[in-house]
Amino acid sequence: MGEHPSPGPAVAACAEAERIEELEPEAEERPPPAPEDHWKVLFDQFDPGNTGYISTGKFRSLLESHSSKLDPHKREVLLALADSQANGQICYQDFVNLMSNKRSNSFRQAILQGNRRLCSKALLEEKGLNLSQRLIRHVAYETLPREIDRKWYYDSYTCCPPPWFMITVTLLEVAFFLYNGVSLDQFVLQVTHPRYLKNSLVYHPQLRAQAWRYLTYIFMHAGIEHLGLNVVLQLLVGVPLEMVHGATRIGLVYVAGVVAGSLAVSVADMTAPVVGSSGGVYALVSAHLANIVMNWSGMKCQFKLLRMAVALICMSMEFGRAVWLRFHPSAYPPCPHPSFVAHLGGVAVGITLGVVVLRNYEQRLQDQSLWWIFVAMYTVFVLFAVFWNIFAYTLLDLKLPPPP
């Protein structure tokens, strides 16, 4: 190929079509080829020996002849891949990984070595962006510390599926609050209503054998200010995180924080009920803030210090409200007001499991040793709390408030 000029995109496309027709005379009876097959045909033009490798010079010729068909960001990553190869050869599998939006360990390492080209121009410096493009870029800058990950996220993100987990959870929490407000005829501080704890979703120490209560208590909030602060933090922090890391990872951190919150209360504040989604919210927010602190120099989000301050102020206000309410005289003694310990359980999950989840963008968590260490710690805590709930109340001869 180095002895002849590269054909134009139209000529190359026609040649490809003729070659495919010659090799596959019954192509019209077969399903359309996969994207990998299409790129394999192009790659084989420069690899007649079918070795799986081509020289970086031929690889650049391939990029030049098909540059009009490539997204500019993806072309930059391909050029970085070529720059990173000290042996002067490009592996076909690395090429397909990129074109198919997959990142193997070998490909990721190659890109990390060649990322000087990718860092030459930041995403936010580009001109002519529409509103959705700028939103995606800002989300990337809010959550990812490396420019290469930001560009990869922008290239790969399709908004399908949307951040459904955090939105669904938030809508359910608002719906349950409105329903309780109508049924109790009280919106400002619902927890003071005599019938509030009778709801089957609230965690209550006397009803701890009903296992669903360790999770469903998130749909019950003490009052409008409790719901408002949690919803604001969920949407401002949780939705961008889910857009980047996906519903599975963010849902895992959120649910782990919720369960850890109720279990922490059952161990450290054994006589108190639990309401609110603060365990899950604090898990997400603390993981996000810890990730920013650990990658401070790489985080390019605007006003990051101000954003951290606002998040910490909101968390402090909500936690202070919970502490005040816990020690405030109960409206229905002898049962105390809901505990604040769930917040601390959420923070503990955020700075352990959550940090690992957010730090390893697009990498398999099962390959991370630190991930397994924190999973083991979390599992040990859950098992300890389960046995504590089975035996400790009887052994300590603790007097619990009557069931609602």
Catalytic residue positions? 278, 343
Omega of the bond prior to 161 within 30 degrees of 0, cis? yes
Instruction: Quote the Cα angle for 44-81-129, to 5°.
Output: 105
Alpha-helix runs per DSSP H in 6-125: 9-23, 35-45, 56-65, 72-83, 92-99, 105-113
For 68-213, list the strands marked E by DSSP: 89-91
Question: Do 335 and 351 meet the contact criterion of CB atoms below 8 Å apart?
Answer: no
Q: What does the alpha-carbon distance between residue 220 and residue 337 come to, in Å, rounded to a whole number?
A: 13
Question: Would you tell me how many other CB atoms lie within 10 Å of the CB of residue 20?
Answer: 14
Q: What does the alpha-carbon distance between residue 14 and residue 404 come to, in Å, rounded to a whole number?
A: 77
**What are the respective helix, strand and coil percentages of the chain, to the nearest 5?**
65, 0, 30
Question: Do 284 and 253 meet the contact criterion of CB atoms below 8 Å apart?
Answer: yes
Give the three-class secondary structure for 403.
coil
Give the three-class secondary structure for 89.
strand
Question: Do 41 and 19 meet the contact criterion of CB atoms below 8 Å apart?
Answer: yes
Instruction: Quote the Cα angle for 65-67-71, to 5°.
Output: 155
Question: Do 190 and 201 meet the contact criterion of CB atoms below 8 Å apart?
Answer: no
Terminal Cα distance for the chain, rounded: 81
> Of 349, 351, 342, which Cα lies nearest the Cα of 226?
342
